[in-house]
Amino acid sequence: MSEVIHVGSGKVRELYALDEERLLLVASDRISTFDVVLPTEIPDKGRVLTGLSAFWFARTRDIVPNHLHALRPDGRSTECRRLEMLPIECVVRGYLAGSGWKDYRATGAVCGHALPEGLVESARLPAPIFTPATKAQEGHDENITRDQAAELVGRKLFDEAERVSLALYRYAAEYAAERGILIADTKFELGLDANGELTLGDEVLTPDSSRFWPADGYATGGAQPSYDKQFVRDFCDAAGWDKEPPGPELPSDVVDGTRARYVEAFERLSGIPFADYVADPDVVLE
């Protein structure tokens, strides 16, 4: 058996090199909030992220090729093609939230997109916008203009990344809305494969890479509850945590409620019982 080399640890995932061409991405059950990993894990969260990503990879190949080779039977490990990642985060926003809302309030624009006046927090945008960000090694990613992003990756690749990201978002947002989940915004990571072809990598359209909102109860003019992390956020707020590490331990009712929300997001979007996925991860590829 060839040696497997651990090449990196993210907040949530571990990265291994299988050989020259292939990586293994292993999603843990760690949860982060306000950019801090909490000491308590959410059982099966890594399986939900892995399964949902694979579900979308299998359905978006006609929009853009992706890195997925195979899922491992544990449901949390993805064998994928190693890509040379673009140095930008490809963010698409359909609604005004988070740093998009902050930038709009300060300047009337987001990443160089001038938006209509008078939009309120959580408003649906007239059309989805591509709002690239830098990949910060430490701390928060920073929003940049489309021109700055084009300088980083080259105009031709930038145009392709923008087109593909918008097409992926449009497809997924429409699909999810029919199933009761609004995808307010999401982040894609694109790279080049060995032939120089633009390829979708990382995780896609998961609660961790996206802002999911429950469609029922959606109301503009304020922040929306998070589909997946609201129990955790409410608990952290009530605990009076200052958002500096270490974060608080989560009590079992918060863990159970959060696990249920992740599983519910998986089942609503995929239409597949989560137990079926655990029994055989390949069900999401059919």
Q: Which residue is nearest to ligand ATP (CB)?
A: 10
Binding status of residue 76 toward ligand ATP by CB under 6 A: no
Closest distance to ligand ATP from the beta carbon of 11 (Å): 3
Q: Scanning residues 173 to 192, which ones bind ligand ATP (CB under 6 A)? A: 189, 191
**For the chain, how are helix, strand and coil distributed in percent, rounded to 5?**
35, 25, 40
Number of residues that bind ligand ATP (CB under 6 A): 16
Q: Segment near ligand ATP (CB under 6 A), from 39-47, 79-87, 148-156, 274-282?
A: 79-87
Kindly tell me which residue out of 45, 47, 76, 82 binds ligand ATP, with binding defined by CB under 6 A.
82
- DSSP secondary structure letters along 69-110: EEE-TTSSEEEEE--EE-SEEEEEEEE--HHHHHHHHHHSEE
Report whether the peptide linkage leading into residue 246 is cis, meaning its omega lies within 30 degrees of zero: yes
Look up residue 206 and give its two tokens.
């998961």
Closest distance to ligand ATP from the beta carbon of 200 (Å): 9
Closest distance to ligand ATP from the beta carbon of 53 (Å): 10
Using an 8 Å Cβ cutoff, are 102 and 179 in contact?
no
Closest distance to ligand ATP from the beta carbon of 203 (Å): 7
Closest distance to ligand ATP from the beta carbon of 118 (Å): 34
Closest distance to ligand ATP from the beta carbon of 25 (Å): 6
Write the interaction track for ligand ATP spanning residues 39-68; mark x where CB under 6 A is met and - where it is not: ----------------------------x-
Binding status of residue 150 toward ligand ATP by CB under 6 A: no
What beta strand segments (E) does 193-266 contain?
A: 198-201, 210-214
Nearer to ligand ATP, 121 or 203 (CB): 203
Query: Using CA atoms, how far apart are residues 71 and 61, in angstroms rounded to an integer?
Result: 16
Binding status of residue 202 toward ligand ATP by CB under 6 A: yes
Query: Using CA atoms, how far apart are residues 77 and 82, in angstroms rounded to an integer?
Result: 15
List, in order, residues 6 or more apart from 115 with CB less than 8 Å away: 96, 104, 108, 109, 125, 126
Nearer to ligand ATP, 128 or 201 (CB): 201
Using an 8 Å Cβ cutoff, are 235 and 26 in contact?
no
Nearer to ligand ATP, 122 or 210 (CB): 210
Write the interaction track for ligand ATP spanning residues 5-24; mark x where CB under 6 A is met and - where it is not: -----xxxx-x-------x-
- Name the β-bridge partners of 200: 66, 190
Query: Using CA atoms, how far apart are residues 24 and 214, in angstroms rounded to an integer?
Result: 32
Nearer to ligand ATP, 23 or 129 (CB): 23
CA atoms within 13 A on the CB side of 264: 15
Interface ranges with ligand ATP (CB under 6 A): 10-13, 15, 23, 67, 80-83, 85, 189, 191, 201-202
